[in-house]
Amino acid sequence: MEVPADVTHNTRLTIGELADRTGVAVRTIRYYCDEGLLAAERTSTGHRTFGTDAIERLGLLRRLRALGIGLAAIAEVLAGTRALAEVIAAEREAVGGELAALRRREALLTAVAGGEVGVGVNLIAAVADPAAAHGALVGFWRHQLAPLPAPVLHDFIDMNVPGPPTDPDPQYLLTYAELVAAVRDPRLTAAMFDTVRHSAVPGVRDEKDLLLSVAQACLSAAPLVAIGEQPRPGTELDHYVHAHATARTERDTPEFRRRLALGAADQRVRRYWRLTTALTGESVTSGAAHLWLFDALTVSVAQSVGLNLPGDERGEATSGLPSGDGQGTTSTMSPGSSHS
């Protein structure tokens, strides 16, 4: 801002004159002085006076305030302790965060308005705090797979737990909310725990070894799941059953397989993995690989008693669930997808 020609280097401006020259209210100038943003001297009568450089300084203050920059950041710029470009970049990032929050709020309201409002409000509350929602899913699996070594558990969570719901799409938020609500249901907690371990067959001596061995079995089944191979007996299932038999110091026999097949996943477990698949967009999930092995076990048991299940009926004999729901039961570590 140019200083008028009639203002010389030695001229001191009163607060009223500075207000007239800059268009800034006297009250605002006093406030800037009190905050240490604008230097002033006092006359013998106690009145503030300003040097001509106050005109440019006050102009910069106004411009930065117009951009929404906070006084603390402005003070750093004026003191030369922080670059103006850095302050502008930080403010731009903050505005981006505010816009994202507004878009998210709009999506939450849209999701609620799209269905039964009372139910929607209760459900969508589960994802009002994205970090807390994601934390609920992580906490669920830390409890389920507590015996596993930390690096293995971290890999499982990274592969199978959808990230915080930052996507403003209303349907995505509703799906994520349903998943979070599910893990807060004690019935799913119990069902998932039983499914992971086949708790219907007691006697597991070492949970950690069992989970790690089942992980390897799921990994071996994943390629078959990925190409749409129907669940069937084979080396993948043998590996899976052997893991469970060894954990209980038993042998892989037809009778053991029949007992193992009794521990079926219920609808809650299948629903959990269906929601996970919808959120991650992955056709191959850990739960689906595990389901493939479950259904392969069903086929194996059926064949041992002389039954030959059609493909669409595989998995129903022990679970009572339709096989084409695209979902798996729980898993250990491996990827997979359900084609039962």
User: Which amino acid makes up residue 64?
Assistant: L
pLDDT confidence bin for 310, thresholds 50/70/90: low
Q: Locate 81 and state its tokens.
A: 């302790």
Which region among 37-41, 125-129, 178-182, 269-273 has the lowest average model confidence (pLDDT)?
125-129
50 - beta bridge partners? Answer: 13
Higher pLDDT, 126 or 25: 25
Cross-sheet strand order for the sheet of 13-14: 13-14, 48-50, 41-42
Q: Find, among 238, 103, 70, the residue nearest to 173 by Cα.
A: 103
| pLDDT given for residue 126 in this prediction | 73
In the chain, % of residues over pLDDT 70: 82
Residue-by-residue DSSP string for 306-321: T----GGGTTHHHH-S
- Check: CB of residue 142 under 8 Å from CB of residue 239: no
- pLDDT value at 17 more than 70: yes
- pLDDT value at 196 more than 60: yes
d(CA 59, CA 70): 15
SS3 content of the chain, % helix, strand, coil (to 5): 65, 0, 35
| Distance (Å) of CA 71 to CA 42, 76, 110, 122, 332 | 24, 9, 36, 40, 53
pLDDT, tens only, 117-135 = 444 666 777 777 888 999 9
Q: Find, among 295, 319, 321, the residue nearest to 309 by Cα.
A: 295
Cα Dmax for the chain: 111
| pLDDT given for residue 51 in this prediction | 93
pLDDT, tens only, 148-170 = 999 999 999 999 999 887 767 88
In the chain, % of residues over pLDDT 90: 59
Domain ranges of the chain: 13-82, 86-120, 185-319
Among 2.30.30.100, 1.10.1660.10, 3.50.50.60, 1.10.540.10, name the CATH number for the domain at 13-82.
1.10.1660.10
Q: What is the pTM of this model?
A: 0.64
Q: What is the mean pLDDT of the chain?
A: 83
| Distance (Å) of CA 22 to CA 1, 5, 13, 60 | 9, 15, 12, 11
